[in-house]
Amino acid sequence: MDRPTKDPTVDALTVQVLDFPTDEPEADGTASWSATTMVLVQARSGTASGIGWTYGAAGAASVVHDLLADCVVGRSAWDVPAANEAMTRALRNAGRPGVGGYALSAVDIALWDLKARLLQLPLADVLGRARPDVPVYGSGGFTTYDDARLEGQLRAWAEDRRIPRVKIKIGESWGGCEHRDLARVELARETVGPDVELYVDANGGYRVAQAIRLGHRMARDLDVRWFEEPCSSDDLPGLARVRDALDTEVAAGEYGFTLPYFAAMAPVVDCLQADATRCGGITVWLRAAAVAEAHGLQLSGHCAPHVHAHAACAIPNLRHLEWFHDHVRIESALFDGFLDPTGGALRPGHDGSPGLGLTLRHDVLERHRRSGT
């Protein structure tokens, strides 16, 4: 059935690629990088504009242009799930997982922001709140950091911001630097003291038996509470072995693009993770939360904290969001309306700002915009 013609429609989509150099060289267990690429989508309806983004390959911008824009422009601005479904179908032959998922996610997020702006409500109120605030954990602790840098970053979260949860990267060089990994986790525990939850993320760098051996030591000696991607997240039997062997919670899910992926992973983790900038935007992230809930699990939002903050208010089984160093740096530079994590929780929409509550700083956008986009 057609919607009444008085509904506002999506009039245009624009997409730009932005490059942000890191503040110093960064690496985790299995990758290194010196810049972060953002694909930024703006969806317009009349004089209102919504913003959405993903952190991924610049090719996602071409997918938006070539395959997704026509699915969205001309639709009712209210019916975001219908637009999401149309985009999903349009990606069938190009691939919904991977770059297609990043592109779809950025558009979906822009459409939710647009709808809430048209309604002049914070997005958390459009979705409906299940909670007043959103816990976060400080995340960074790259394997490239020296001790002073690691200690300084951890103190900034735990002491200056009073965030009671922090995470560092381990699994350096595909698990080839065990002694340095353990020394860094020990330094992290000494730095934040006994009362801050300490998390580690191996980004799939360890073998299964290696992860179990190190996981026991980190739990026993250093009270590590969260072991993320101890082995490859593609190895579901391996994740199950690690989870069954350890008291530490095992978490994974950041590379999930579809609900069947999350449903398959849920039985082998203690906490499911999902990234709204990859899995299909806010529309699918909320459904991933339902998949987790059906398995008796909480959901943790992966990276891009200002994408997740409002949606996180809408789910009862939220664990927390990742206050990720790179993305916090980018989002604080690019947007006015940046959220304050002091005390360890965000309060999205508390000031009544519509949508995601963010305003683009065009001078920063122009400085980082890749030419030709």
What is the largest distance, in Å, between two alpha-carbon atoms of the chain?
A: 65
Stretch binding Mg ion (CB under 5 A), from 30-38, 42-50, 182-190, 222-230: 222-230
Beta bridge partners of 321: 136, 301
**Min. distance of Cβ 265 from Mg ion in angstroms?**
14
Binding flag, residue 249, Mg ion (CB under 5 A): no
Binding flag, residue 181, Mg ion (CB under 5 A): no
**Min. distance of Cβ 367 from Mg ion in angstroms?**
29
Stretch binding Mg ion (CB under 5 A), from 127-135, 195-203, 311-319, 346-354: 195-203
> In this structure, what is the dihedral angle of CA atoms 55, 56, 57, 58, given to the nearest 10 degrees?
-20
Q: How many residues bind Mg ion (CB under 5 A)?
A: 2
Binding flag, residue 322, Mg ion (CB under 5 A): no
- Sequence-ordered alpha helix ranges (H) in 223-361: 236-245, 259-265, 281-294, 305-312, 325-334
**Cβ closest to Mg ion, residue 113 vs residue 228:** 228
**Cβ closest to Mg ion, residue 124 vs residue 304:** 304
Stretch binding Mg ion (CB under 5 A), from 99-107, 115-123, 225-233, 243-251: 225-233
Residues 122, 309 contacting (CB under 8 angstroms): no
Stretch binding Mg ion (CB under 5 A), from 2-10, 31-39, 136-144, 227-235: 227-235
| CB-nearest residue to Mg ion | 201
CA–CA gap between residue 243 and residue 269 (Å, rounded): 7
**Min. distance of Cβ 101 from Mg ion in angstroms?**
17
**Min. distance of Cβ 202 from Mg ion in angstroms?**
9
**Min. distance of Cβ 213 from Mg ion in angstroms?**
21
CA–CA gap between residue 109 and residue 41 (Å, rounded): 9
**Min. distance of Cβ 228 from Mg ion in angstroms?**
5
**Min. distance of Cβ 322 from Mg ion in angstroms?**
8
Encoding tokens for residue 182? Answer: 């353990």
CA–CA gap between residue 40 and residue 50 (Å, rounded): 11
**Cβ closest to Mg ion, residue 228 vs residue 331:** 228
Stretch binding Mg ion (CB under 5 A), from 30-38, 59-67, 162-170, 194-202: 194-202
Binding flag, residue 326, Mg ion (CB under 5 A): no
End-to-end CA, the chain: 37
Binding flag, residue 201, Mg ion (CB under 5 A): yes
Encoding tokens for residue 31? Answer: 């990758």
CA–CA gap between residue 256 and residue 233 (Å, rounded): 10
Beta bridge partners of 255: none
Q: Where are the beta strands (DSSP E) in 12-82?
A: 12-27, 32-45, 48-55
Residues at the site binding Mg ion, with contacts judged by CB under 5 A: 201, 228
